[in-house]
Amino acid sequence: MGRILLTGGAGFIGSHTYVELVAAGHEVVIVDNFSNARRDVIDRLEVITEAPVLFHEGDVLDKRFLEDVFRQHDFDAVIHFAAKKAVGESVEQPLLYFQTNCTGFATLLGAMKDARVFRIVFSSTATVYGNPVSLPCAEDHPIAPLSPYAHSKVTCETLLRQLKESDDRWAYGILRYFNPAGAHDSALIGEDPNDIPNNLMPYIAKVATGELPHLNVFGNDYDTPDGTGIRDYIHVVDLARGHVQSVNKLIDEDDSHVLNLGTGTGYSVMDMLRSYEKACGKELPYKIAPRRAGDIDCFFADPALARDYLGFEAQRGLDEMCRSSWNWVSRLRNR
């Protein structure tokens, strides 16, 4: 087992990964600047894991801060989540995305190198593939980023490869996520966007709690069975387990890898809505709206490589994603 630094460990995927890492016996230290996470996530992680959480508040752009963290702990590996992730926002503020996602990552890698920590799991995205030319989408699909956000992730992936070519001590796990959904079984942590959500599941969740009047279904004339867009939703706890398996592989074998994390199964917007209705026990209002710019009809992973290489397989289905999300948001509303 190892000592692991988790940047962005108070965020949605980071917090779930923290829980799975601790359950697997790792010692974990969180770094977060709380720019997109609630401070009470730390207390909640303590309740779930029944142990104190070690964390440092600070920014990955702050090299002195990072040096100080690396001085205080002797890490075996880093898992890097701390980044910005909204496609639309990245189109409006490309500089912010380059600064946070690329410069922040380069600053972290510099601090790692100084501290002689050479293993890193990097949070990437299936958006790096752009419009799919073949489905299911495997890791050797062409890379064609379409937004500043996607570009920032491709830049970081490239930097990792170049670093490894320059110095073989580096070992990386690049994980390309499909669409994370759901929440922890405890209903103590989950996705909690500050503004009106861009993504489907948190939007449906806010319709279910009554915070938003209806779901806008962006297009019902796609080339899919019910006409609405199909995506590969993966339960955040499964995604978190994927990180544990990736970092274990790095610690045990120093073997670099680039893997999709998805289920291989696609669901439509209407499938999602119907499953959420089952979970919350009521009908959810929706309206058919125009297509959203940049959306595609269908996108899902080829999960075979992650299965063969890590033994990773998603275990939780759509109903579990919706049920756990509903448990989380209804509890959040009522507390």
Residues assigned a catalytic role: 149
Q: How many CB atoms lie within 10 A of CB 251?
A: 17
Interacting residue with ligand UFG among 49, 216, 220, 330 (CB under 6 A): 216
Q: Rounded to the nearest 5 degrees, what angle is found at the Cα of 136, between the Cα atoms of 288 and 164? A: 115
Nearer to ligand UFG, 75 or 299 (CB): 299
Q: Which stretch binds ligand UFG (CB under 6 A): 35-43, 45-53, 291-299, 304-312?
A: 291-299
Tell me: does residue 292 bind ligand UFG (CB under 6 A): yes
176 by DSSP, 3-state: which?
Answer: strand
What is the closest distance, in whole angstroms, from the C-beta atom of residue 299 to ligand UFG in the complex?
6
Token pair, residue 110, equals 């510099």
Give 121 or 175: the residue with its C-beta nearer to ligand UFG.
Answer: 175
- Determine contact, residues 123/112, Cβ cutoff 8 Å: no
327 lies in the site for ligand UFG, by CB under 6 A: no
Handedness of CA 166, 169, 170, 171 (dihedral sign): positive
Q: Decide the pairing of beta strands 233-235 and 171-177.
A: unpaired
Residue 126 in the binding site for ligand UFG (CB under 6 A): yes
When asked if residue 221 is in the footprint of ligand UFG (CB under 6 A), the reply is: no
CB of 198 to ligand UFG, least distance (A): 5
| Nearest-angstrom CA–CA distance, 77 and 119 | 5
If DSSP codes are grouped into helix, strand and coil, which group holds residue 65? helix
Binding positions for ligand UFG, 50-109, rule CB under 6 A: 85, 87
Residue 22 CB neighbours (<10 A): 19
Distances in whole angstroms, Cα of residue 290 to Cα of each of 202, 220, 229, 294, 295: 20, 8, 12, 12, 11
275 binds ligand UFG (CB under 6 A): no
70, 203, 267, 328: residue in contact with ligand UFG (rule CB under 6 A): 203
220 is an interface residue for ligand UFG by CB under 6 A? no
Q: Which 143-182 residues touch ligand UFG, going by CB under 6 A?
A: 178-179
Tokens found for residue 129: 């593939």
List the beta bridge partners of residue 230.
Answer: 268, 298
Q: What's the min distance (Å) between Cβ of 310 and ligand UFG?
A: 19
Q: Work out whether 125 is an interface residue with ligand UFG (CB under 6 A).
A: yes
Residues that bind ligand UFG in the complex, under the rule CB under 6 A? 85, 87, 125-127, 178-179, 198-200, 203, 215-218, 229, 231, 269, 292, 295, 299
